[in-house]
Structure 1
């Protein structure tokens, strides 16, 4: 049995228990699913300080359904021949997350599968996540870890530790946000290890603002990493699109 199978089993066993615990506190037995959807555009698909779309603009569609404390979600994003994903034209992120409230802190656990379409070889991989969230007035704080067990598509395993905050400015439609993260893990000679860690472990950060008016959210984010140009990673690293970048986005929900 692989590490991925064991950890996925733990998460899947835990989610129903989390949902039952939350339902007994907040949701009536007859409560139906809460469904949300959205469409977005952005000047770059940037994750953990790295571009997944080769610095090109993207469009994305997403949908989620929540039953009790468990949420299933799907997001499909255009990648337009991503170097980081061996020429993939799109990625679908399929996730399942469950949460409970404990003393004012929201604890969430789940998993996500990243499925790539149009890649030159199989680039799909999965991650497990654990996070804690806390709200204080208009501010929200979160910290957590996303862990991808050893998989050929990423040349080893990968752990991403992160912390962030966001706060709405009272009396205005503006929200400010910021986060920091650190990517670490073990690798092999497979060059695909550079997909998530170009040249080795690295740190990333981002700051931004959002303008929220009803279902429309306009965003502007500046993200960067501590990656240096003296590293010589493989073509999967897409180093030309791994530096500091200003990204604009727009999203409408319905």
Structure 2
């Protein structure tokens, strides 16, 4: 389960929160959930949509698991298509055993005359590891690539989607990896 909330506080500035259930995640100290708390600033500059954010990942019920990260993004709209580039950096912190940089590129196109959108994404995670066991929280197999494609349906406030995701993670201790097919649905208020 996932829930999100965004509260605009000034032009382009919002306070954001998201919560996701984890069900006793060994990877995150047995936490049953993660709460992401942050602030985002977004601005339209010509044809570019630019954003910057600061975020803290809190793991209720688990000791010394929380960590912060900074992010930036740039996107461009070309007719029914959008292209986005983003970077997220978690500075050196004991909870993640070093630092982590995640770079990603994505593209999406609305299928004309339908409520469907097709999108694709590729990303790369890398960084230094001061403590290999803790660093495995963000990079279970060291530096890795991930990718995925999605088909989403949006009608009014309802949405549903199907996503294929995979990564290059394949080490012996990497649980919950490999190709997956994820279905999602929800209501936007």
TM-score (norm 1): 0.72
Displacement of 1:189: 3.0
| Aligned mate of 1:137, from 79, 87, 109 | 79
| Larger fraction in helix | 1
| 1:240 alignment counterpart | 175
Q: CA RMSD in A?
A: 1.2
Kindly state the Cα deviation for residue 167 of structure 1 after the two structures are TM-superposed: 1.2
Q: Deviations over 1:106-128 (max 9, x none)?
A: 11111111100122x32100110
Quote the offset at 1:199 in angstroms: 2.3
Equivalent pairs, count = 188
Larger RCO, structures 1/2 (Cα 8 Å, 6+ apart): 1
Bigger Rg, which one: 1
Paired residue for 1:214, among 141, 156, 174?
Answer: 156
1:112 aligns with 2:112: no
Matching residue within 114, 118, 121 for 1:176: 118
Aligned match of 1:69 = 12
CA distance in 2 between counterparts of 1:194 and 1:102 reads 38
Larger deviation, residues 153-162 vs 66-75: 66-75
Deviation of 1:102 (Å): 2.0
Gaps of 5+ in 1: 1-58, 234-238
TM-score of the superposed pair, with normalisation by structure 2: 0.95
Residues in 2 aligned to 1:64 and 1:100: alpha-carbon distance in whole angstroms: 16
